Amino acid sequence: MKNIKGYVNFVLHAHLPYIHHPESEDYLEEEWLFEAISETYIPLLLNFQKLEEEHVDFRITMTMTPPLLNMLDNKLLQERYIKYLEKHIELCEKEVKRTVYDSRLNNLSHYYLDRYTNDLHVFKDIYKCNIITGFKHFQDAGFLEIITCGATHGYFPILYVNEKTIRAQIAVGVQTYKKYFGKQPRGIWLPECGYVPEADKYLKEFGIEYAIVETHGVLYADPTPIYGTYAPIVSHGGLVAFARDLESSRQVWSSINGYPGDFNYREFYRDIGYDCDYEYIKPYIASNGARVNTGIKYYRITGKDCPKDYYDVQWAKDSAEKQAGHFMDCRNAQIEHLSNYMPVPPIITCPYDAELYGHWWYEGPYWLYILFKKIYYDECNFKLITPSEYIDMYPRNASIYAM
């Protein structure tokens, strides 16, 4: 039996600006969505599925913003994503033939062919072209809590000059959530984590109980919170606020010593869209002839100011596994320390952009999978939790502050 002294709250903010051009089939901006589906949303779903099949009891929170939900539900964009995958599979098949001269390169070309082929299978056959149903499944199963956001991701501290605009942002966010998930959202990711007290009455009007805010949104509350960001606080308007933990954020986000900079990880900025012969790659780049990323990347970060070496999938997994253990050990130490000074169980809130996991940090979804397994099976002094679960378990943990 684990001696639980605190909790860790993972929050992934899934958002993309609304982009849709029905008047033309070739708009580069739409590929932002397609890249995110292949590199972030499907990998997250597949790793959640593995955890569920392995009977790992995990918890994670995700925002799915109204612009993103409406794009994922758009029939024309769904059809275009299938064409996007078919075009990538065609390119991968050519790459398998082109790279036969080098076994390491050829193994990678097979890897990408398998990956995009599996994406097509998952999207068409498993989720019937609508991956929203996948996330809804994990919410209904109790592993995932999905929260909402402002209608257009508008920044509340700017919009509050006309409070009706904030009300509309919240109203549409809640309405869109109910449309896709069939229930009332309890939480909201405030766009860019920007809080204004004027929004409280509208959040309360539409049934929002808590928000994810930036670190300084809690630390600079008046009076200063006794427990800093390690317990939620409640505004005079009744909004519970969970704030970003700086230490855990730094370990993932930092460009200097964050995990995504590991030399074994895939190099984001080296892509065959720029490396391959122009006439060969021309059918797979922008229609105006501009070279763009294809998503097929053969190199690892390798190091600073040195030639890039080929990416090795197993080396990358080895690094992810070590770093998952490091992250868990750091949270163990952090919670052990905090528990000596807090009469209530601390909660470490770890909010990130969802697209960091997979799109920018290619190995991110696998890192989460390993981390959640370690937390479940290994000796540690904390559990994963969602904000709603924490509020329900410890309703008196927060004090009233004027945020």
Which residues are designated catalytic?
192, 353
Q: Tokens 């991968």 — which residue? A: 92
Give the chain's length: 403
Q: Tokens 């990998």 — which residue? A: 43
Task: State the alpha helices, DSSP H only, in 192-312.
Answer: 200-205, 215-219, 246-253, 272-275, 278-281
Amino acid occupying residue 251: Q
Distance CA 181, CA 185 (A): 9
CB 242, CB 232: distance < 8 Å: yes
Distance CA 358, CA 356 (A): 6
Residue 297: closest CA among 111, 120, 136, 119: 111
Q: Tell me, what DSSP letter sits at residue 258?
A: S
Q: For residue 354, give both structure tokens.
A: 């969802």
Q: For residue 239, give both structure tokens.
A: 């909004």
What lies within 8 Å, CB to CB, of 318 at 6+ separation is 264
Sign of CA dihedral 348, 139, 123, 104: positive
CB 180, CB 70: distance < 8 Å: no
Q: For residue 66, give both structure tokens.
A: 């109204």
Q: Tokens 């992250």 — which residue? A: 327
Q: How many CA atoms lie within 13 A of 255 on its CB side?
A: 1
3-state secondary structure of 36: helix
Q: How many CA atoms lie within 13 A of 317 on its CB side?
A: 6
